Amino acid sequence: MSRAARIAALARLAGIRRELEMAELRKAAEARRAAEDRVAEVDAQRRAARAALAETPGALLGRQAEKFERWAEGERARRNMDLARLTAQWMDRRATAARAYGQGEVLDKLAEKARNEAREEAARRKLADQPPDLARN
């Protein structure tokens, strides 16, 4: 296998890896967005409960509101932890995808350079194999 063929094969493999890492990054980003939505959902529920409580008088509702607030705080904390974990995964995936992308780009350039060098070498050999009178023209 020639140098150009080996580099081209590596470039193809790097392209496959790049696509895989980009797909994993998209998946991690979707999971992160879903976790953000879940945190926002708790915040929306808290706002709605506070608005309803402001419109409704009564001591009984006050105790229920306190229980709901405690639940909402705990739920938000759990969802924030999930969001933090997914954000860390997304950041790792982003770094890995960037690295794979860069490696793929470098190998693509090297493969192109190797192809050009192989073409130039083939042209030189062809020219060298011609009879002397044809080589001058």
Q: Is residue 42 part of a domain?
A: yes
Q: Is residue 79 part of a domain?
A: yes
Residue with tokens 């060298």: 128
Residue with tokens 């607030």: 69
Q: What is the pLDDT of residues 56-113, one digit of tens each?
A: 766 667 778 889 999 999 999 999 999 999 999 999 999 999 999 999 999 999 999 9
Q: Is residue 137 part of a domain?
A: no
- Other beta carbons within 10 Å of 90: 20
Quote the CA–CA distance of 128 and 34 in Å, as a whole number: 65
Q: Is residue 80 part of a domain?
A: yes
Q: Please give the C-alpha separations between residue 136 and each of 75, 127, 131, 132, in angstroms, as whole numbers.
A: 84, 10, 9, 7
Q: Is residue 135 part of a domain?
A: no
The pTM of this model reads 0.74
Q: What is the pLDDT of residues 88-101, one digit of tens each?
A: 999 999 999 999 99
Please list, in sequence order, all residues whose beta carbon lies within 8 angstroms of the beta carbon of residue 35, skipping any fewer than 6 positions away.
79, 82, 83, 86, 87
Quote the domain boundaries for residue 35: 3-129
> Given a cut of 60, is residue 135 above it in pLDDT?
no
Count: domains in the chain: 1
